[in-house]
Structure 1
């Protein structure tokens, strides 16, 4: 096979090619420099904008912090004003509500004084006085429980014993029957505060029944960490419109109510880290309380509101 001769490149042709390539490289290099300068300007501009944005962010952060402090201050002032307003309304309502049973007591004693020896209605009149005093006492207890601040004092207690005490204390017609549960559950609680809860619920049930009916207590204990106490009565029931407001302070449907009984119940139950709910037709209250937690779990405390 015949070998092809190597083509010779003249010196001036090599020089021309090299010169063209160098010109292209220089043009490309110039273009890159211009692009670099453009990018540098963009970077500088972005850095300035970022610095400005950082200053704006810092100013915004300071402004938000100031607004948060001002909002907290205004919230505290509003809560204080609402509390003072509630106390004023409560004082006026309590003064009105206590005046009526005091007049009843005064009238009964006047009748007794006019005929102290031959008074054939003495037992009836003393009964009227006793009910009036009980009414005043209950209203004052509602107020004291509601305004009291503090933490429950926990101890091991019998739930059935608490319910028995409440049933024994209540003033009611002989035609109203109270059914207590047969089984007992022990739980860590403040028995005196829970007594206040079930006193209020039982008192409401008896008032709702008026003449003849039943109040039924039942305990659901599924061997878990909670126990549920249900209180059902055969009274008139609660209207659907009133259900969402039933636990609100100062809300009442009773002519002589303080509107604090159920609010206090809710506060006490929540201080025990439990819940209280209600259903109507028939009226049923459900108090759910923890029972297996130790006293050590309550070191943080839950203040009554």
Structure 2
């Protein structure tokens, strides 16, 4: 039923009560006037007044009482004369007295009811759930907030047992609580109750015992405050605090809680005289030292206690001055980040242990932007002693490695010289033996001896140039850059290995494409590359039955490069050896040193070219050397 419906129904009820009261009064009047009854019929007017009192309106009571008085007097005048004042008059007076007493009581009851209604309206204005129950627990009053919170209307709740309706769960036995209520007249506690739709509410309950005029308990007024959200928030806060404390205590990273509120006040009152904060702090180290004392430590976790060599947090409940050395420079940066309201600051410093030893650490200080966040500044500290030791060990290992590299370089230099000068030395020995044979003849052939000596001198100079070039190359000095005709280099290389090829029965053919432009580089180095490749080809075919051929060819690749190929008819290179063929000290020959191809590739790459190989097992190998043209000549 809506409020309008209730108002309309109440108005109709009052109208019916008024009509009934009037009809009853008229009926009593007619009986009193028309019947010969001698009794005090007018006393029945009391019923009419009581009906009018049911409307809960003071005016209705007064109007009904006045009407009954008038009807009583009129009926007496109509039924008796004024001379007869004995028994009839006494009955009239009794009737009027009854009407007056009833009216007075009805008015008193109306006033009391009105006061109670006003109190009930006040209770309905409360934000708390309020209801009253009698000694047996039956609900006798149910305010609006209770309707809204619990879901039952007043009509549904009235007459119900409170504990059964709300399914209340108490913190103690119900009998103990009730005994305490009877003893003190009050009880307060936290209970859980259920709403109409089954939701659980946590409420703070306050009970007050109601007594009658004789002091006898007649009922209980219960006031309940819904604290479900508050309890949930508190529980979440407690859980959050417990999680934070577990992380704080169990973390292997040192954590320091600090209060920087005094430091914020000092910074806000600081007069920098127009200078920047950093410049002012540099010029006023006394303020920085004072600021370090203002940053108070409120707690430290076990990891930091261990890091600092302490047995508890009490040793740190001072300020950061306790942890930082005199030569610390990181605090200034943290102070500037804090003043500029940065969210965090990271740095590296040294933490001073209680025994005075310094520990290298990395740290991150976090600043909160929330109100009161200056009282909860967190510093996370990581001990990097092991990292520093590892770095020192790494530097030592690098020094050892550098020394080993220098020794290895010396070995490579020795091996390179031995490998490269082997051919000139062999040529010198061969020429010397030939010269001795020419001298030991019965008639020495001095011309041949002279020619042999010229060859010996030439080979000696070539060996010297090879050594000089290798040393220059290993020192990474710039190579000599000359304009070189590649055809001349090929002819010179062929002449240098001609005797060795002839001794092994190898037929060498070489072909140079007409019109090749010159390349720029070191003549001796490029010549030695071709000599090495030809000697390798000769050695690969050594002892092989059948014809042995080596082909040396120079062709143009494009407008910027030329290619020189050295092809042999030997057994080829095994596929598993191809990836390592150019590695230093790798060789497939029993007497080889494994340096020739490595030096060749390095030399070619130093000239801006490339050296590659193709091989089919059983069909020989082809080395391909690509070089760029000299930029002094125009491109086609």
- TM-score tier, shorter chain, comes to 0.5 to 0.7
Gaps of 5+ in 1: 295-305
Q: Which residue of 2 aligns with 1:227?
A: 561
Q: 1:94 to 1:286 in 2, by over 3 A?
A: closer
* C-alpha deviation, 1:179, in angstroms: 0.9
Structure number, greater radius of gyration: 2
Q: Which residue of 1 aligns with 2:494?
A: 170
SS at match of 1:288: strand
TM alignment of 1:187-198, pairs within 5 A: 189-192=520-523, 193-198=525-530
Q: Which residue of 2 aligns with 1:303?
A: none
After superposition, the C-alpha distances for 1:24-72 in whole angstroms (9 at most, x for unaligned) are 5664564355345335535644887364695446345434432432232
Q: 1:80 aligns with which of 392, 395, 406?
A: 406
Contact kept, 8 Å, 1:101 with 1:136, in 2: the verdict is no
Contact kept, 8 Å, 2:567 with 2:623, in 1: the verdict is no
Does 1:286 find its partner at 2:624?
A: yes
**Distance (whole Å) between structure 1 residues aligned to residue 514 and residue 234 of structure 2:** 99
Higher helix share: 1
SS at match of 1:20: strand
* C-alpha deviation, 1:17, in angstroms: 0.8
Q: Normalising to structure 1: TM-score of the pair? A: 0.65
Q: 1:264 aligns with which of 599, 616, 620?
A: 599
After superposition, the C-alpha distances for 1:238-257 in whole angstroms (9 at most, x for unaligned) are 43265455434455667887
* C-alpha deviation, 1:217, in angstroms: 1.3
Q: 1:88 to 1:267 in 2, by over 3 A?
A: closer
Q: 1:30 to 1:245 in 2, by over 3 A?
A: closer
Q: Which residue of 1 aligns with 2:443?
A: 117
Q: 1:284 to 1:126 in 2, by over 3 A?
A: farther
Q: Which residue of 1 aligns with 2:397?
A: 71
SS at match of 1:152: coil
Measured on the aligned residues, the alpha-carbon RMSD in Å equals 4.9
- Larger relative contact order, structure 1 or 2 (CA cutoff 8 Å, min sep 6): 1
* C-alpha deviation, 1:76, in angstroms: 0.9
Q: 1:49 aligns with which of 253, 256, 259?
A: 253
TM alignment of 1:172-211, pairs within 5 A: 172=498, 176-185=508-517, 189-192=520-523, 193-205=525-537
* C-alpha deviation, 1:74, in angstroms: 2.0
SS at match of 1:178: strand
TM alignment of 1:149-160, pairs within 5 A: 149=475, 150-154=477-481, 157=483
* C-alpha deviation, 1:138, in angstroms: 6.3
Gaps of 5+ in 2: 11-116, 131-222, 256-302, 304-361, 364-380
* C-alpha deviation, 1:151, in angstroms: 2.0
**Distance (whole Å) between structure 2 residues aligned to residue 206 and residue 126 of structure 1:** 30
Q: Normalising to structure 2: TM-score of the pair? A: 0.36
Contact kept, 8 Å, 1:209 with 1:235, in 2: the verdict is yes
